Structure 1
Amino acid sequence: MDKYKVLKVFVDVHTKETYRVNQEITLTKERFEEVEKNLEVFGGGFLELIKTEKQTDKKSAKTPKKKG
């Protein structure tokens, strides 16, 4: 699941919940696509994917020593 930022106020047709500007919501990719498709008639652009940094490995980030 991904997090999205609400750019325009809208009401979810399934849950009847009103989403406000700058609210962060979590949706599956499929649900996001459904919402965007349903809101196209109102100009689209209601949600923006929030970029999240993937957690890095907890291994040491040391550079390898040169041999020789």
Structure 2
Amino acid sequence: MSRLSYRYGEGEILGFKSGCWMWMKRVMLERWRLKEFKKERLKQEQEVWFQCGVISSLQNPNK
């Protein structure tokens, strides 16, 4: 996880219950503001969101 935290800086994912969604929301707001839909960036974000969801479901089996 330290790799993701280092790579995404201030959007680092802390406590997947809230941190993950906060980071995703920040990314969506930035994208809406900039109106940038670069394929490479989208691909990177999807990978992170997927990892985020998998780890979140593993840590919270009741979900």
TM range (shorter): 0.3 to 0.5
Q: Normalising to structure 2: TM-score of the pair?
A: 0.33
With a CA cutoff of 8 Å and minimum separation of 6, indicate the structure with the bigger relative contact order.
1
Structure whose residues are more often helix by fraction:
2
If each structure's strand is expressed as a fraction of its own residues, which one has the higher value?
1
Q: Which protein has the larger Cα radius of gyration, Structure 1 or Structure 2? A: 1
TM, length-normalised to structure 1: 0.31
